[in-house]
């Protein structure tokens, strides 16, 4: 087992929070989870691999959409329980809704307002 993995503090479910940041403009793209195996696979292959809590399995970002994330750097916070990943977001879309970022809604006057456009319809990405 790699020593660097021992510095990561996984929660009770064996997961660590990961925030993906666009390396080109530093925008926050998405937040997801990794287990130990996902983190190992990410480092081994240089592509972001997450753990899907709903599907209970590993998933490579973009495995269905083609919008993969090439890893340019990983940072571990001081407590060891959160990771930031700087990525090259291929296709310019990180969100399954077709937005660049999963964080496209901003709270204003008690309402969540969409502040960025859909770049590609979900149906066109996933063929549904």
Give the pLDDT confidence of 44-67 residue by residue, as tens digits: 999 999 999 999 999 999 998 999
Looking at residue 126, what is its pLDDT? 77
Kindly state the DSSP code that residue 9 receives in the 8-state scheme. -
Phi, psi (deg, nearest 5) at residue 64:
-100, -40
In sequence order, what are the residues at sequence separation of 6 or more whose Cβ sits closer than 8 angstroms to the Cβ of residue 120?
A: 93, 98
SS3 36: helix
For residue 110, the domain's CATH number is 3.10.20.810
Count of structural domains, the chain: 1
Q: Indicate whether 89 pLDDT > 80.
A: yes
Tell me the residue range of the domain where 105 lies.
3-126
Q: How far apart are CA 41 and CA 47, in angstroms?
A: 8
Token pair 């940041």 in the structure block, residue: 21
Joined tokens for residue 47:
């592509």
SS3 69: strand
SS3 20: strand
Q: Which of 30-39, 40-49, 97-106, 115-124 has the lowest mean pLDDT?
A: 115-124
């Amino acid at each position: 087992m790699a020593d660097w993995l021992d510095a990561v503090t996984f929660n009770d479910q064996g997961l660590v929070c990961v925030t993906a940041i666009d390396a080109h403009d530093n925008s926050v793209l998405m937040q997801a989870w990794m287990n130990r195996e996902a983190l190992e696979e990410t480092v081994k292959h240089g592509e972001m691999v997450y753990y899907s809590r709903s599907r209970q399995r590993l998933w490579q970002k973009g495995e269905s959409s083609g919008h993969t994330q090439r890893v340019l750097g990983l940072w571990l916070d001081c407590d060891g329980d959160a990771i930031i990943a700087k990525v090259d977001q291929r296709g310019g879309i990180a969100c399954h809704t077709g937005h660049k970022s999963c964080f496209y809604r901003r709270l204003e006057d008690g309402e969540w307002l969409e502040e960025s456009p859909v770049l590609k319809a979900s149906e066109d990405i996933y063929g549904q």
